[in-house]
Amino acid sequence: MLDQPGLDKALKGRLKRGDFRAAVVYLDRMMARGPKPEIALMRAQMQMRCRAYPEALRQLQAALDLWPGDLALRRMQAEIAMLAREYHLAGQAWQSLLDQHRVAGSYAILRRLACLRQSGQQDGAQAFLGMQADRLRKHMARAGVQMLRKPPARLPAGLYLVSGNNGTGKSTLGHFLQAIGYPIIDADTEIASFCLGRRFSDVRYDLLRAFPEGESEIRWLWPQARAHACFTAARRQKAAVFVIGGFGAAVAPYRNDFRQVIHLTAPDRVIADRLAARNSIGHKRGSVGFDAALRRNQREQRPDYDAIILSSDRPTWAICAEVIAAIEGRKPTTEALLQTT
């Protein structure tokens, strides 16, 4: 049995290698030896990397029973419940963050609104918006708040892809579309995996352990079976469903699966600022991921597949309005709204 210093050293080694499954095992032992909220939080982060959402939610609830006022644990519960499409649980967590923790900004409001809309609680969504309107207006133009109040435009049923380089705002746009009422598929969490030849894994280390000589050849792609299963399930909704994420080689083989593709672009300075603001290990300033995103940004201004290209260097609500207008085949009115709000 490892003592505490031994567990700490082993954990750091596994994290450095990207062996998140083993990291969970060490964090389990550390929690058993001396429970701490920061250990529970790190374990949930590792489980999220492994897409072990049910286990993460079960253990997060146990941690919150011990530390009910812990803001970071509650936020992690909300995020993972969204990934697991557990909208009732996620909604409760976001509401707790708004009421008890008084979190600032519009993000928690939009996520709580998305939970209500995605679970079919339209009256509840309108009532919630009425209560949060003043807080929203501190962070969003009146035109954006009005977009959230209106029923979503009835778009032709089918799949619509939102693609673009890292830092172009795909996920943020997806959250806004979800808050309006459109179902989304987060491609990075529901489809994409690390790929080496024809082998796929949700954890990069698993491929490296089996094929250490193939490190430079590992790609982030969409496995065909998983993509088609996800698309087939989405089509059964007989609604407009937005697939959020991907670009380049990950997207190109599936172009014909989508009614339309919206490709987001942004200048290098915007990409750099957004990636730096993420506070992500994989995209922090100076990292391999950060530099790669900037190198390919010029290429991603014009994708190799047919798409409607939109600049994302503007407020999210304005991008959303342009996306909907482009799908409907009409000219957006966002320029006039941006000048008056």
- Average pLDDT, consecutive stretches of 10 residues, N- to C-terminus, the chain (341 residues): 82 92 95 96 96 98 97 98 97 97 95 97 96 93 94 95 96 97 96 93 93 91 96 96 95 95 96 86 81 91 93 95 92 54 50
Q: Are residues 318 and 175 in the same domain?
A: yes
How many structural domains does the chain have? Answer: 2
Q: Spell out the long-range contacts of 273-282 with Cβ–Cβ below 8 A and sequence spacing 24 or more.
A: 274/167, 274/169, 275/166, 275/167
The SS3 call for residue 92 is helix
89 within a domain of the structure (yes/no): yes
Q: What is the largest CA-CA distance in the chain?
A: 67
Q: Which domain range does residue 71 map to?
A: 35-139
Parallel, antiparallel, or unpaired: how do β-strands 308-311 and 158-164 relate?
A: unpaired
Q: What is the CATH number of the domain that holds 114?
A: 1.25.40.10
For the chain, the C-alpha Rg in angstroms (whole number) is 21
Q: Are residues 75 and 170 in the same domain?
A: no
Q: Are residues 312 and 227 in the same domain?
A: yes
Q: Are residues 48 and 124 in the same domain?
A: yes
257 within a domain of the structure (yes/no): yes
> What DSSP element (H or E) covers 60?
helix 53-66
Q: Are residues 106 and 200 in the same domain?
A: no
Q: How confident is the model at residue 5, as a pLDDT?
A: 85
Q: Give the residue from 106, 139, 172 where a domain finishes.
A: 139
Q: What is the CATH number of the domain that holds 284?
A: 3.40.50.300
Q: How confident is the model at residue 286, as a pLDDT?
A: 80
47 within a domain of the structure (yes/no): yes
Report field, pTM of the whole predicted structure over 0.75: yes
281 within a domain of the structure (yes/no): yes
319 within a domain of the structure (yes/no): yes
Q: Are residues 169 and 316 in the same domain?
A: yes
Q: Are 43 and 74 in contact (CB under 8 A)?
A: no
215, burial (CB in 10 Å: exposed 0-12, middle 13-18, buried 19+): exposed
